[in-house]
A and B are shown apart, each in its own frame.
Chain A
């Protein structure tokens, strides 16, 4: 969901926000230079990445399992990669420029088959 940009005479007085939680509509993923790529095959579901991610960008499914990355909001800080305890790591950083136009499947293969 992307936000609707309002005119100066439409914004709420004093920058107040009446619909809490609207930071979701601000897609900080656009700031990213590098992105984390996840390898579900080696992931041990320890959830360290979820605990440490400063942007709540580790996706969790209905069973409470790590299920991927929210690329709309992930800023690409790399903290999740640092924290991942598996050897080799189940998360790896890749330049955004190198990820352009490729599917997540392809990227996983590219990063983790080496």
Chain B
């Protein structure tokens, strides 16, 4: 039987890594994910896992070591945040292009400048097109559960694609919550043994990794890679069901919170969903048909399923914890809006940026979004497609 523990999100990630007991962890410390490799190092020192911990001089080297170890045939994990994730950039593409199912915990954080070590989604949203599977957690429990599932998703023969399990820096990484830590043996059994496809260390069948693909080959390889990433969608659902049977918590592509008849809908990812659920609950008590569509899988983006889940909405607000950076809106907004273009129901969709650099998002702010959605649904008019939550001064 699992047991209830009161630990931080970082510790949840570290315990998942301990129980998965990968062959190699190569990591470099960066706030707010530092306690993950720190805890892993402690577990190893205490004899609680026998992973080879490779301490490196940068995140670029961390991901490079992960690529080497994974190409050799190992099960490989790491953790990072923000600028560390950004420094991995080049190698993130090499990991996905080489189809190495590395699993990474990301305590999502703002990118400098200005220098800021607090939570937002600038890192993972910036890296959304690096070819990695991206799962986003709402709390510590999901952080732990997602990493365990990510191993099975990434290593699935039809997928063979690296995956990251993201959770909000500080809001989750450093907050102590009560969550269920499952039995070591049950987790071990759930993730199973890993059989690499073409391990470099198999000298009986020599293989080359990282070879050159000139213009008459590169395109075919990239599309072959894309198919693996797209295959992850069905595997996420399958593994989410298996996880449900094993541990009692089932997962899908998204969580539809009070969405059955919802007219005013917020679409969001991460810890803000917890706050939003509380607001939805109190609005429902007052007879307001509010709902939340929490996106769990961001890459590959399940556009069809998300559009279907929004079929009852009369007005939608998408919350992005990242600057639109010159696009029509945040990354989640543009994807959701595009997904709805082919839907029968095409309600007005507005966008908010919130929580940049650790800015707090409180129930009053979420309430103001639902108020806005009600007005839009009643008047049919959108005065502002893009706005900011809890920003000093009026935007636009």
Contacts and interface: CB of A to CB of B under 8 A. Distances in A.
Interface of A: 5-18, 20, 26
B6 interface: no
B219 A16 contact: no
Rank and list the top 5 A-B pairs by shortest CB-CB distance, nearest first.
A14-B99, A17-B208, A8-B223, A8-B220, A14-B98
Contacts of A8: 219-221, 223-224, 227
19 contacts: A5-B216, A8-B219, A8-B227, A10-B220, A11-B217, A11-B221, A13-B99, A14-B97, A14-B98, A15-B97, A15-B98, A15-B209, A15-B210, A15-B221, A16-B98, A16-B208, A16-B209, A18-B207, A20-B208
Contacts of B225: 14
A94 B198 CA distance: 44
Contacts of B217: 5, 11
A11 B208 contact: no
A9 B158 CA distance: 12
A21 to B, nearest CB: 9
A6 B221 CA distance: 10
A110 B223 CA distance: 49
Contacts of B97: 14-15
A18 B213 CA distance: 15
Interface in B207-237: 207-211, 213-214, 216-217, 219-221, 223-225, 227-228
A17 B71 CA distance: 12
Contact of B213 (A7, A9, A15): A15
B130 to A, nearest CB: 15
B205, B216, B217, B224: residue with the most chain A Cβ atoms closer than 10 Å: B224
B230 to A, nearest CB: 13
A20 B206 contact: yes
Given A13-B224, A15-B221, 19 more contacts: A8-B219, A8-B224, A9-B227, A10-B220, A13-B197, A13-B228, A14-B99, A14-B198, A14-B225, A15-B98, A15-B210, A15-B211, A15-B213, A16-B99, A16-B198, A16-B207, A16-B209, A17-B208, A18-B205
Interface SS of chain B:
loop
Contacts of B206: 18, 20
Interface in B324-381: none
B197 A6 contact: no
Contacts of A7: 220
A13 B160 contact: yes
Contacts of A11: 217, 220-221, 224
B198 A9 contact: no
Given A8-B219, A8-B220, A17 B214 contact: no
Interface in B175-223: 197-198, 205-211, 213-214, 216-217, 219-221, 223
Contacts of A12: 198
A24 to B, nearest CB: 13
Contacts of B208: 16-17, 20
Nearest to A28: B214
Nearest to A20: B206
